[in-house]
């Protein structure tokens, strides 16, 4: 497995933990430790497997021993659990964005109408 691919996977899982669950910490292992009770056992095990692989990526000989299929499976388990979380919040933000766009359009149209009347 390429180190860049593993770094990307670790970064994505870490980002999702921070966004969806409010995990704190700078590394993936710190974020898992901060929110480990919020994760189901299967997801927690997969996230720890990815964090262990991240620690091994610094040593090239150890990195060659990593199982890419198992890491990709663990990544998909984590992402498939974490991505749907927060869907109502994203829906609310989307509605707020639409309302702001409509309000801005109405303000601009009122300004143009007022300028035309003047």
Q: Which domain holds residue 112?
A: 87-118
Please name which of 90, 82, 71, 73 lies closest in space to residue 32, comparing C-alpha atoms: 82
Instruction: Please check whether residues 81 and 91 belong to one and the same domain.
Output: no
Intra-chain end-to-end CA distance of the chain, in Å? 68
> Is-contact 89 64, C-beta < 8 A?
no
Q: Specify the pTM.
A: 0.71
Q: What is the DSSP string of 23-74?
A: --SSSHHHHHHHTGGGS-HHHHHHHHHHHHHHHHTTSHHHHTTS-HHHHHHH
Domain match, 32 and 50 both: yes
Residue 21: per-residue pLDDT: 86
What confidence score (pLDDT) does residue 43 get?
94
Asked if residue 106 has pLDDT above 90, the reply is yes
Claim to verify: residue 92 and residue 77 sit in the same structural domain: no
Task: Say how many domains are in the chain.
Answer: 2
Model confidence over 56-90: pLDDT tens digits?
A: 888 878 878 889 999 999 999 999 999 887 667 77
């Amino acid at each position: 497995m390429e180190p860049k691919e593993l770094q990307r996977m670790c970064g994505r899982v870490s980002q999702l933990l921070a966004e969806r669950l409010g995990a704190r910490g700078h590394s993936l292992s710190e974020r898992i430790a901060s929110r480990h009770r919020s994760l189901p056992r299967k997801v927690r095990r997969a996230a720890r497997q990815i964090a262990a692989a991240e620690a091994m990526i610094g040593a090239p000989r150890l990195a060659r021993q990593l199982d890419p299929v198992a890491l990709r499976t663990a990544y998909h388990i984590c992402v498939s659990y974490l991505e749907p979380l927060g869907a109502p919040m994203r829906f609310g933000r989307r509605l707020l964005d639409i309302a702001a766009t409509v309000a801005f359009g109405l303000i601009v149209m009122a300004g143009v109408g007022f300028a035309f009347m003047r």
